């Protein structure tokens, strides 16, 4: 691959850094991704991916416009801000509608293979993206009160031998069979803990630990939200632990309650040591973030202009 001239690379970095989830990344990490992309011109209106398909790349307009449309525009990116496709690539989730670029557009195309290749070869970039996705996911969840969208499934087992802890952690972290070696290491350091009725569970001054409820229930109160009950199978603190922040809620045991606890420093250590764990969590969190965005709507900068202007 020919070496990019500094001006071209700088322009790519500038445009990519306006595109979520890369907008908060260190410049040196964005530069690695920008160098892996390619530029492509589209003389005619082009459907890059149909609704129901996964995006094959993350696309950033260098000139022109890019949008998801279903009858009318749903999400839109222009040369001034934004890009589309990253969450579909990272999470393997299908697009809800056609991804279209206008005639005359020039796009920076970060193909899926090139994108994933960078993450596999540069673990620090993968870990940065994981943390940023976790922070964006937290932001959206806190905006709607932090309650899960679907009832938690009961844990696969309430036994606490090593194999049972592995099954519980695999379900909670959303990892595939390829992650079982990592799960085995985490299962060895995960501990069962019990709380009597009335005891506070979460420490809002320390980075969150991961709690997987096995028996009993918790009264959970997020800022600005009503008290809700969390029961067996619910996972608390996973996204916060990955993001390295405390939980922004109060949780009190309604009765004697048992949970499997994975400390934040054990999880952080494994993410640092195991690039494969970071990639698996990126896939899981990107899927969840896409679902959150689909439910609450796009951020203002990616909403189509309704004023009639360009």
How high is the pLDDT of residue 175?
75
Burial class (CB in 10 A: 0-12, 13-18, 19+), 188: exposed
Convert the pLDDT of each residue in 155-204 to its tens digit. Answer: 766 678 888 888 888 888 877 666 678 888 889 999 999 999 999 988 77
Output the pTM of the full model: 0.85
How high is the pLDDT of residue 180?
78
Cα dist from 147 to 108, 142, 214, 225, 290, whole Å: 37, 9, 18, 9, 17
Q: Tell me if 220 sits within 8 A of 196, measured CB to CB.
A: no
How high is the pLDDT of residue 309?
37
* Domains present along the chain, CATH in parentheses: 6-121 (2.60.120.10), 146-274 (2.60.120.10)
Regions in the chain scoring below 70 on pLDDT: 1-2, 70-74, 79-81, 145-154, 156-158, 176-179, 295-310
How high is the pLDDT of residue 308?
37
- List, as one string, the DSSP characters of 62-113: EESEEEEEESEEEEEEETTB--B-HHHHHH-PBPSSEEEE-TTEEEEEEEHH
- Write down the H helix ranges in the chain: 6-16, 27-36, 86-91, 112-121, 123-143, 162-173, 180-189, 238-243, 264-273, 275-296
Q: Tell me if 215 sits within 8 A of 232, measured CB to CB.
A: yes
How high is the pLDDT of residue 139?
87
Burial class (CB in 10 A: 0-12, 13-18, 19+), 82: buried
Phi-psi region of 82 (alpha: psi -120 to 50; beta: other; left: phi over 0): left
> How big is the chain by its Cα radius of gyration, in Å?
21
Inter-helix orientation angle 123-143/275-296, to 10°: 30
Written as six digits, the tokens of 14 are 């500038």
How high is the pLDDT of residue 35?
94
Nearest by Cα to 247 from 255, 257, 258, 236: 236
């Amino acid at each position: 691959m020919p070496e990019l001239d500094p001006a071209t690379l700088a322009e790519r970095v500038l445009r990519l850094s306006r595109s979520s989830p890369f907008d908060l990344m260190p410049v040196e990490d964005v530069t690695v991704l920008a160098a892996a992309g390619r530029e492509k011109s589209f003389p005619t209106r082009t459907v890059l991916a149909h609704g129901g398909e996964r995006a094959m790349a993350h696309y950033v307009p260098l000139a022109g416009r890019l949008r998801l449309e279903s009858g009318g525009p749903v999400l839109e990116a222009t040369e001034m801000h934004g890009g589309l496709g990253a969450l579909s690539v990272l999470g393997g989730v299908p697009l809800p509608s056609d991804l279209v670029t206008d005639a005359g557009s020039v796009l920076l195309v970060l193909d899926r293979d090139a994108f994933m290749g960078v993450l596999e070869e540069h673990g620090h970039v993968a870990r940065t993206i994981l943390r940023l996705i976790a922070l964006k996911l937290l932001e959206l969840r806190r905006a709607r009160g932090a309650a899960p969208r679907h009832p938690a499934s009961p844990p696969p087992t309430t036994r606490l031998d090593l194999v049972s802890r592995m099954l519980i952690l695999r379900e909670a972290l959303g990892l595939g069979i390829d992650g079982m070696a990592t799960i085995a290491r985490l299962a060895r350091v995960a501990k069962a803990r019990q709380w009597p009725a009335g005891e506070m569970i979460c420490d809002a001054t320390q980075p969150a630990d991961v709690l997987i409820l096995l028996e009993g229930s918790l009264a959970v109160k997020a800022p600005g939200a009503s008290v809700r009950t969390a029961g067996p199978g619910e996972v608390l603190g996973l996204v916060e632990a990955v993001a390295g922040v405390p939980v922004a809620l109060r949780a009190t045991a309604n009765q004697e309650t048992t949970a499997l606890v994975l400390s934040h420093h054990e999880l952080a250590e494994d993410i640092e040591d195991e690039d494969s764990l970071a990639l698996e969590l990126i896939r899981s969190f990107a899927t969840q973030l896409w679902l959150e965005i689909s439910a609450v709507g796009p951020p203002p900068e990616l909403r189509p202009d309704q004023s009639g202007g360009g």
